[in-house]
Chain A
């Protein structure tokens, strides 16, 4: 028994593989999905997504979106997602700083822009947390 996991963002298909189990951060707390799980549609929160495959565990940072479970298939639609290996700590920190500064400047400006920046800041925070885990 195994699950197929697909993680897609507007920019790319981030992850697509057959796995044993996955833990998804949702607005209601973390949800562990094993094969045979009942059909589920849930909102994904910002956080760390853990994928277990054999003896390996992969970590991904995800932010905002939805997850659908059904027929031993897990599909995650995220606003942002990145695998831990690909997170560049320095770049994220720089991006975080930039976004925060823009956020200060844009506080009264366009609400759509503000929302976008907030999303960036949140995702940057998640990325750092995932990268620095266990340190």
Chain B
């Protein structure tokens, strides 16, 4: 049996750990609230924008834009969104599993240190990495999106896809891969977005060709020219917000679990300590009694 001193030392260390994890849980909880609010507030906008594009989707054939053109896929371009810091449970591991599943040639632009380290370690092609600040700001993310779009337009990559952990709720984050460019699978994207918001598939998708007659002002080309890049930037931004909300949620849950474990361990250790102490006292009494008998 371990000596009481050893147990006492362990109790002290577990107590310290519990205090730290508790503090981290509180910090994560307050950040989580903000991050979740930001992610949820941005959703109607992202969804509405996708719906607008959905209205265009039926006419994609007639519209000319590099974003809409189908082309042979040789190299995939992937924007990977992870966190900078660890200690958030299986969050990053789950996201990176999706990366491991990609067997075709791909180039990566990464937000967040964890992802950049992973890509470098596994000898994949990292073309850019960006820090994941605690406050996700649109201008920062825009840089990433525009960088990738440039690669796409110049033909270095043939798709633009995003991998991030989609935020469902505090307990559930789903690692997701979503293709952004070329915009040929818009209807699928729409369905995804609706599933996210907990709505049914849009009725608009069933409209006939005659009803989709649409006026563009000033003209279709101009509208597309500004709507499409904005859509890409906003979409990536929304995913970054989502990833942030996921990160803080996962961290809070991980820290709460750690704290609960520490509390449980502390209970067990205290019990063991008391048993050892009791055993020591009993032993002493026995020895005194025995000595008295002998006298």
B139 and A112 within 8 A (CB): yes
In the assembled complex, the Cα of A89 lies from the Cα of B118 at a distance in Å of 50
User: For residue B216, which residue of chain A has the nearest CB?
Assistant: A41
Which chain A residues border B214 with CB–CB below 8 Å?
Answer: 39-41, 70
Smallest CB separation, B190 vs chain A (Å): 14
Give per-residue flags for A8-35: 1 if the beta carbon is below 8 A from chain B beta carbons, else 0.
Answer: 1111110000000000001110010000
User: What are the interface flags for A63-80 relative to B under an 8 Å C-beta threshold, 1 for contact and 0 otherwise?
Assistant: 000101011000101000
Which of B26-34, B42-50, B93-101 lies at the interface with chain A?
Answer: B42-50
Instruction: Kindly state whether residue B143 has any CB partner on chain A within 8 Å.
Output: yes
The residue from B56, B138, B213, B226 contacting A43, defined by CB atoms under 8 A apart: B226
Q: Considering the chains assembled together, what is the distance between the CA atoms of A95 and B56 in angstroms?
A: 37
B222 at the A interface (CB under 8 A): yes
B223 within 8 A of A: yes
Asked if A94 is at the interface of the complex by the 8 Å CB criterion, the answer is no
Which residues of A have CB within 8 Å of B237?
10
When chains A and B are docked, how far (Å) is the Cα of A11 from the Cα of B237?
12
Decide if A38 is an interface residue (CB 8 Å cutoff).
yes
Q: Is B174 an interface residue (CB 8 A)?
A: no
- What A residues does B41 contact at CB under 8 A? 10-12
CB contacts (< 8 Å) of A66 on chain B: these are 49, 52, 223, 227
Given contacts A13-B44, A68-B52, A75-B52, contact A41 B215 (CB under 8 A): yes
Our count of residue pairs bridging A and B at CB distance below 8 angstroms stands at 76
Q: Choose among A38, A39, A43, A116 the residue that contacts B139 (Cβ–Cβ < 8 A).
A: A116
B244 at the interface (CB under 8 A from A): no
CB distance from B161 to the nearest CB of A (A): 22
Are B52 and A112 touching (Cβ within 8 A)? no
Do the beta carbons of A43 and B222 come within 8 Å of each other? yes
Q: Is the CB of A10 within 8 A of B52?
A: no
A interface, how many residues as a size bin?
Answer: 20 to 34
Residues of A within 8 A of B227 (CB): 66
Known: A28-B218, A68-B55. A39 touches B142 (CB 8 A): no
Q: Does A6 contact B (CB under 8 A)?
A: yes
Closest to A16 in B: B44
- Contacting B at CB under 8 A, from A93-135, are 110, 112-113, 116
**Among A12, A28, A77, A113, contact of B52 (Cβ-Cβ < 8 Å):** A77
Is there contact, CB below 8 Å, between B223 and A43? yes
Q: Verify if A83 is at the interface (C-beta below 8 Å from B).
A: no
In the complex formed, the residue of A with least CB distance to B222 is A43
> Is the beta-carbon distance between B48 and A43 smaller than 8 angstroms?
no
Closest Cβ–Cβ distance, residue B228 to chain A (whole Å): 11
Give the docked Cα–Cα distance between A13 and B45 (Å): 8
Q: Which of B45, B55, B217 contacts A10 (CB 8 A)?
A: B45
B278 contacts partner chain A, Cβ-Cβ < 8 Å:
no
Does B261 have its Cβ within 8 Å of any Cβ on chain A? no
Confirm or deny: A4 has a beta carbon within 8 angstroms of a beta carbon on chain B.
Answer: no
A77 close to B139 (CB less than 8 A)? no
In the bound complex, how far is the Cα of B212 from the Cα of A110, in angstroms?
41
Q: List 18 A-B contacts (CB under 8 A).
A: A8-B45, A11-B41, A11-B42, A28-B218, A39-B212, A39-B215, A40-B216, A41-B52, A41-B55, A41-B214, A42-B216, A42-B223, A43-B218, A66-B227, A68-B52, A70-B55, A75-B48, A116-B139
Apart from the given pairs A10-B45, A38-B215, 18 other A-B contacts in the complex at a CB distance below 8 Å: A10-B42, A28-B218, A39-B213, A39-B215, A40-B215, A41-B223, A42-B215, A43-B218, A66-B49, A66-B227, A70-B55, A70-B214, A71-B204, A75-B48, A75-B52, A77-B45, A77-B49, A116-B138
What 4 pairs between A and B have smallest CB-CB spacing?
A42-B217, A39-B214, A40-B215, A112-B139
| Contacts from A to B (Cβ < 8 Å) | 6, 8-13, 26-28, 31, 38-43, 66, 68, 70-71, 75, 77, 110, 112-113, 116
